[in-house]
Amino acid sequence: MLLKLLLRRDRSVVTIYLVLIVLFVIPSLISPVFRTSRNFSNILHQAASLGIVSIGQTFIVLLTGLDLSVGSVMSLTTVLCASLMTKAPVTIFTTVLLCLAAGAGVGLANGLLVSKARLSPLIATLGMMALIQGIALQIRPYPGGYVPRNFGGVITGNLYFVPVPAIILVLVFVAAIIILRKTVLGNYLYATGGSEENARLAGINIDLVKISAYTICGLIAVVAGLVLTGRIRSGDPLVGTSFPLDSITAVIVGGTPFAGGRGGVEGTIAGALIIAMLSNMLNLLDVSSFYQYIVKGLILITAVVIYSLRRR
Amino acid sequence: MRSLSQRGIRDEALLEGARLAELVQRLGVYFALLLLVAISGVLSPPSVTPSHLLNVTRQASALGIVGIGQTFVIMTQGIDLSVGANLTLIEILTAGMILGRGEMVLPVAILCLGVGAFIGLVNGLGVTKLKLSPFVMTLCMMSVLTGVYLLYCGGSPRGKIPDSLRFIGAGRIGGVFPAAIIVWLAVIALAFIVLRYTTFGRYIYSTGGNPRASYLSGVNVDLVVIIAYVISGVCSALAGVLLAGYIGTGSLTVGRGYDLNSIAAVIMGGTTFTGGRGGVVGTVGGALVITILFSLLTMLGIPHSGKLMAQGLIIIGIVSLYAKRR
């Protein structure tokens, strides 16, 4: 049933998964290091936080917006965890709740700025990015602190050989699919993204749709931040810096266009996996990280050109 | 007949009203600027001496020049995220190619502006001919340029800038007036004249306001957009050469923040993302507001974290004021 749901909307999802499979099979044939289970688990660990935050970003891109504040929300999450968590499970629980509340608050503020104050999403989330980044740096100016083992260990551990980050990724993914495909909110989201004016005339409360989407994105960014915290085991106020643009890249490579209203999280996951796998491959091939910037740029542009050619 | 003339009068009144609103919108940023200067004056009287104000203006000149290029792009409903990487690339190239030889300043500067123009050309072609969204196209360009400058300098930029260029970047004419401000003023004047008094300027406004209608009235819309991106590329390159003169050597971090700050300066200056409205005068104010704000916060001993928070709040605050009015 899930497969049917996945394939229902867009054929470009099939293409992107074919690309993913090719990118997976070819290096597996060539490189014995690549096809080790240890490396696969590595890729999953690397891809998980990017994949999760990109799912949230998809909600916003579907609305023809973008959220630049996700990275600083992730940084703030790691900083809060490293500052507030102790071995006692109660503090872990309350810290996670606090982080989620903070993320929802940021998302809510973004949504209100975009819908009620009518700021362009770029400016609203740019301002919010600076604000949250400032707060994170205020709490912890330098990377440091310590995340207790009974949080970090669980987040980075395995459950029956499956990395926990991958499980969290799948859970967020399934939740997003259900929201987007099976709920009224999902339908409203696609309608608003497709044509705001039509959606409004059809009686949809587009402000509420936007506010919900930004809030969901903020919450998901916190989940990504928690996974990242588990990996780095400390607080780093700048760890999320590259995530806003990387997550947007994942969404676009995954086939959700900036024009909004089309695409979905199915492609986004593949987009995030492609980005993580490519950087893993280039690292294994001992390619200078300098080239990786160029490769990343060229991949994004190739993907977008291919999509735009198909639609013509 | 009577109703027609009446309508004419009403339209004129509407037009006057719209003009007034636009004027307020464009000058609003200058009220913010005055307010900031006044606050600085109260908190720290030495900060409003002419010498210090000139110094802050000198600091703002690179952002101001980048912002003017960004204004052209945003007026055509675009966005240029590659300005920061472009600036860094040019700064590193300038330092790395001149290597302290005074006779190389002019050829290298011209070559660098050419590189900037080429970057803008590629951006413009991607946006118009490949029909890529400006955000995606210039995001890719940013990534590629970052790779290019890292490769060029191998991760550690070198180079030395001769005195002539150092004077333009950091010196003061007669020991008083910073030379970099002259460069900025020249760019402002040029951009103002182009936008206000040339056919191309009119095309920028009409293309930004309604691309379809402009196309149908015979404007080569693609060419206008391409030129806008080329202007942005050249402006970033010019700022890069200027900053090379100021710093005196290559720097990997010199362009950090320029992409988003230049966009913020443009939007604070009253140019809108929907295109076709605004101009360089507001952008100049926006660049000054951002620079003076940072300078004020530095003077107050507020750490980087506090500066970021204040920057975020002020960008959101100023832009909300406009957005509500629309």
The pLDDT of residue B323? 67
Distances (CA, A) of A199 to A6, A63, A187, A203: 24, 12, 10, 7
Q: Which residues of A touch B256 (CB under 8 A)?
A: none
Q: Which residue of B has its CA nearest to A304?
A: B132
Contact criterion met (CB below 8 Å) for B248 and B7: no
Q: Which residues of A touch B264 (CB under 8 A)?
A: 123, 126
**How many domains is chain A built from?**
1
Q: Which residues of A186-215 are buried (b: 16+ CB within 10 A; e: fewer)?
A: bebbbbbbbebeebeeeebebbebbbbbbb
The pLDDT of residue A290? 85
* Contact flag B308-A296 (C-beta cutoff 8 Å): no
* Contact flag B312-A134 (C-beta cutoff 8 Å): yes
Q: Which residues of A touch B318 (CB under 8 A)?
A: none
Per-residue confidence band for B22, with pLDDT thresholds at 50, 70 and 90: low
- Distance (Å) from the alpha carbon of B75 to chain A's nearest alpha carbon: 15
Sign, CA dihedral A297-A303-A304-A305, equals positive
Domain that includes residue B310, residue range = 24-325
Q: Examine residue B19 and state whether it is found in any structural domain, yes or no.
A: no
Q: Examine residue B7 and state whether it is found in any structural domain, yes or no.
A: no
* Contact flag A124-B316 (C-beta cutoff 8 Å): yes
Q: What value does the mean pLDDT take over residues A168-176? A: 95
Query: What is the tens place of the pLDDT at every residue in B153-174?
Result: 888 888 888 888 888 888 888 8
What is the gyration radius of the CA atoms in chain A, in angstroms?
A: 19
Give the highest mean pLDDT range of A33-42, A119-128, A141-150, A167-176.
Answer: A167-176
The pLDDT of residue A120? 87
Compare CB distances from A290 to B142, B150, B303 and report the shortest one's residue: B150
Take residue B15 and report the two structure tokens written for it: 């037009």
pLDDT-wise least confident of A163-172, B216-225, B229-238, B270-279: B270-279
Average pLDDT over all residues of chain B: 87
The pLDDT of residue A158? 79
Domain that includes residue A80, residue range = 2-311
* Contact flag A304-B136 (C-beta cutoff 8 Å): yes
Which of A:58-97 have CB within 8 Å of B? 66
Q: What value does the mean pLDDT take over residues A56-84? A: 94
Query: What is the tens place of the pLDDT at every residue in A234-272?
Result: 899 999 988 998 899 899 888 888 887 888 898 999 999
Average pLDDT over all residues of chain A: 88
**How many domains is chain B built from?**
1
* CA separation for the pair A235, A145 (Å, rounded): 6
Residue A57 has pLDDT above 80, yes or no: yes
Q: Over pLDDT 90: what percentage of chain A? A: 46
Burial class (CB in 10 A: 0-12, 13-18, 19+), B151: middle
Q: Which residues of B touch A127 (CB under 8 A)?
A: 311-313, 315-316, 319
Here the CATH number for the domain that contains residue B197 is 1.10.3470
Q: Which residues of B touch A263 (CB under 8 A)?
A: none
- Distance (Å) from the alpha carbon of B309 to chain A's nearest alpha carbon: 4
Q: Which amino acid is located at B292 in the chain? A: I
Q: Examine residue B160 and state whether it is found in any structural domain, yes or no.
A: yes
Query: What is the tens place of the pLDDT at every residue in B82-117?
Result: 999 999 999 999 999 988 888 888 999 999 999 999
Residue B1 has pLDDT above 50, yes or no: no
Q: Over pLDDT 70: what percentage of chain A? A: 96
Q: Examine residue B55 and state whether it is found in any structural domain, yes or no.
A: yes
Compare CB distances from A117 to B137, B146, B320 and report the shortest one's residue: B320
Q: Examine residue B316 and state whether it is found in any structural domain, yes or no.
A: yes
Residue A8 has pLDDT above 60, yes or no: no
- Residue bearing tokens 């209203």: A261
The pLDDT of residue B10? 61
- Distance (Å) from the alpha carbon of B294 to chain A's nearest alpha carbon: 13
- Per DSSP, the residues of B87-129 read HHHHHHHHHHHHTT-GGGHHHHHHHHHHHHHHHHHHHHHHHHT
Q: Which amino acid is located at B142 in the chain? A: M
Q: What value does the mean pLDDT take over residues A1-14? A: 60
The pLDDT of residue B326? 46
The pLDDT of residue A7? 54
The pLDDT of residue B238? 96
Q: Which residues of A touch B313 (CB under 8 A)?
A: 127, 131
Q: How many of the other CB atoms lie within 10 Å of CB of B167?
A: 15
The pLDDT of residue A3? 58
* CA separation for the pair A4, A98 (Å, rounded): 37
Q: Examine residue B4 and state whether it is found in any structural domain, yes or no.
A: no
Contact criterion met (CB below 8 Å) for A129 and B312: yes
pLDDT-wise least confident of A160-164, B34-38, B181-185: A160-164
Here the CATH number for the domain that contains residue A238 is 1.10.3470
Residue A45 has pLDDT above 80, yes or no: yes
Q: Examine residue B133 and state whether it is found in any structural domain, yes or no.
A: yes
Query: What is the tens place of the pLDDT at every residue in B243-294?
Result: 999 998 889 989 888 988 899 899 888 888 887 788 899 999 999 999 998 8
A290 touches chain B (CB under 8 A): yes
H/E stretch holding B209 reads helix B199-209
* Contact flag B305-A137 (C-beta cutoff 8 Å): yes
pTM of the entire structure? 0.86
- Residue bearing tokens 């044939």: A29
